[in-house]
Structure 1
Amino acid sequence: MHSTSRPDRPGRRLAGLLTRGRLLIGLGSVIAVAATTVLMPTSASAATTICSNRTGTNSGYYYQMWSNGQGSACITLNSGNSYSTTWSGIGDFVAGVGWSKGSGHTVSFSGSMHSSGGATRVSLYGWSTSPLVEYYVMEDYNGSAPGSGTYKGQITSDGGTYKIYEHLQVNQPSIQGTATFEQYLAVRTSPVTSGTVTVQNFINAWAGYGMKLGTMNYQILATEAWGGGSGGSSITVH
C-alpha cells in the first residue's frame, strides 16, 4: 500500500488495508488503494493460498495480502510464521506475516526473493498512530538501494549499515483513510536474504532525528512489488 511517493512508495498500502488505503515503500508512490474498500479480518489455516485483499490471523500470527488489482498476486500461508508469494504483471502489492500490534522486539527472518522487471522489497514494515507514521526497515531489494525523501543520516545495527530517510505523504491512503503522514525509512546498504532486525534500535535512531513513532499498529515482515514485474518470495519469520 503505499504511495509515498513510494519513497518510493510506502505510504499507502497497509494503511489501506484496514480502511483500504495501502502503503508502500516508496519508491515514488505508495500503493494507491481505494480508501473505501474494507478488508474483513479472517482466520486461515496452514498451507492456505490467498489471492484477494485480506487480513487475518493464522496460528497466532497476523497476515496481510493486498494488491491494487493490476496483474496477479498471491500469498501462501505455509504456517503461522512462514509464507511464500508469487506475482506477475503487478501494479502494486504487499503481503506478509507478523503481529497485529508492533513493538520494539527483535525479529529474525530468513528466505529468498527473485524478480524480473519492476521493483521488489522485503522489509520489516508497520504503522503507528498519534502520530500517524508508516515505517520500513528494508532488508532486501532488487536493483540499486532505494532512497527518497530527506536523508537524515545512518545507523549501524544487526551487522549492517542503514541509511535513514523521512518522506512526507500528502493525501495518501493510510490505516486511517486518506491522510497526510510521514514515512520513516531505514534502508540497508548491503541487502540480505536472512538476518535480524532489532526494531528498538531503529525506533531510537528515528527518534534521534526527531522522527518519533506513536502507538504501534500492525507490523509485518513484508514482500512488496510494483511496476509491472513478476517474481516470488519465500520468507520465514523467527
Structure 2
Amino acid sequence: MSDESRPDGLRKRAWLTTKLLRRLLRFLAFVKFVDVTVTGREVIPKYGAIIVASNHISMVDAIFLWGALRRRAVAVAMAELWTMPVVSWLLRNLGHIPVIRRNADSGRDAVAASESVLNHGGVLLIYPEGRCVSPGDTEPYKPGVAKLSMSTGVPIIPVGAIGTNKVVPLKRDLEGAKKFNRNQKVWIKFGQPIDPADFDTWEQLLAEVRRSIVALVESETV
C-alpha cells in the first residue's frame, strides 16, 4: 500500500516526527523532568486497530498519553489548537484530526478521518468528555467513541490520567497554583480492552467506557 493512500497520521512524515518527539519525551522521563508512572501499557497490541479513550483534566494530557504509547497514534482534538503556530505545525506533521465543537459538518469529517485510521490498523486517541474537566466537575461522555467502536468492531482501551492537572492546571483552576509544577507525580493507567461485541447498544458500551475510566482514576496510585 502506497504511503499516499494512508491517512496523514500513518504516513512516513508522521512516523519520523513521532520518533523524534518520543525520543525527547523518553529523555525527559529518564531524567525525571516530571515523574511519570505508566501501568498496564502491555494491553496495547503491537499491531492492529485500537481506540484509546481517556479522561481529560489538563491541556497536557495528550503529551503524557501519547508519550506513554509505543505505537504511532492519531488523536482527535479541538480545532482551536490548529490556530497556535508551533502546536499547529506539530499537529499537522503528526496527522492529528481537528474537530470543531458543535459543528455537524466538522464532526462528520472527523468521524470519516477516524474510520480511515482504524481501517488502516492505526491507534486512535479520543477524549470522550470532549473538553477539559476541572477536578470535582463532571461532563457527559459524547457518544462518538462508542458509536465508532460499534460501527468498526474495534475495541476500546480505557485510560486514567492522574496528576496532569497539577502539573499544568487549567486556567480556570489557577488560583493559588503554579502555571507549571514539575514536582507533581503523574500516572497514566491503561485498563483492559472493551470489546464492542459484548454490548447490544452504544449506550451500554459508552457506560462501560466511563465506568472503566472512573475506576482507573479512583484506584490506588501506589
Q: Same fold (TM over 0.5)?
A: no
More strand by percentage? 1
More helix by percentage? 2
TM-score when scaled to structure 1? 0.31
**Which structure has the greater CA radius of gyration?**
2
TM-score when scaled to structure 2? 0.33
